């Protein structure tokens, strides 16, 4: 349903669809996978994320940012961005959304 893998440019690619059946697991796996300094999570091929998934991603990137100093999110869909802002995660999670 979803997968996390390192891209050729060092970014972590989060791909597929994440809903209530796997959102907690996806957040934990993202947190475990982000080991590099100045990490970047690429969401270009994340076709769907529900509210629980977006909150799990926010919680994970917040912890990654605390550990690594900063984190970049890129390639998010318009619906992901809108939900991120509506849930005020742009204020709560220390991530740069590009």
Partner 1 sequence: MLSQIPVTNGDSRFVHEALLYSGIDDFVVRVGAFVADSIEANEPILVAVSNLKRELLCEALGEVPDFVQFADMAELGRNPGRIIPAWRRFADENVARGTRFRGVGEPIWPERTADELIECVRHESLLNLAFEGSPAWWLICPYDIKLLSPTVVEEAFRTHPSVLDGDSRSTSASYQGLAAIDAPFDVPLAEPVGNVTTMIIDRLEQLEALRRMVDMHSTRFGVDRSRTADLTLAVNEVATNSLRYAGGPSTIRTWNSHTAIVFEVSDDGRIDDALIGRRIPSVDRESGFGLWLVHQLCDLVQVRTYETGTVVRLQMTRA
Name the site residues for partner 1 (rule: CB under 8 A): 1, 17, 19-21, 48, 50-52, 55, 77-79, 82-83, 86-89, 91-92
Report how far Cα 25 is from the mean position of its chain's Cα atoms. Answer: 13
- Tokens 């934990």 belong to 28
The minimum distance between CB 95 and partner 1, in angstroms, equals 14
CA 75/CA 63 separation, integer angstroms: 20
- Judge contact between 62 and 92, C-beta under 8 A: yes
For residue 16, give the 3-state DSSP assignment: strand
Identity of the residue, 40 or 49, whose beta carbon is nearer to partner 1 in the bound complex: 49
Identity of the residue, 37 or 91, whose beta carbon is nearer to partner 1 in the bound complex: 91
The minimum distance between CB 50 and partner 1, in angstroms, equals 5
The minimum distance between CB 37 and partner 1, in angstroms, equals 27
């Amino acid at each position: 349903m979803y997968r996390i893998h390192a891209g050729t440019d060092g970014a972590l690619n989060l791909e597929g669809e994440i809903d209530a059946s796997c959102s907690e697991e996806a957040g934990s796996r993202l947190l475990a996978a982000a080991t590099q300094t100045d990490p970047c999570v690429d969401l270009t091929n994340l076709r769907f994320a529900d509210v629980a998934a977006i909150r799990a991603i926010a919680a994970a990137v917040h912890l990654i940012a605390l550990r690594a100093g900063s984190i970049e999110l890129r390639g998010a869909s318009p619906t992901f961005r809108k939900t991120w802002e509506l849930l005020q995660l742009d204020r709560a999670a220390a991530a740069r959304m590009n």
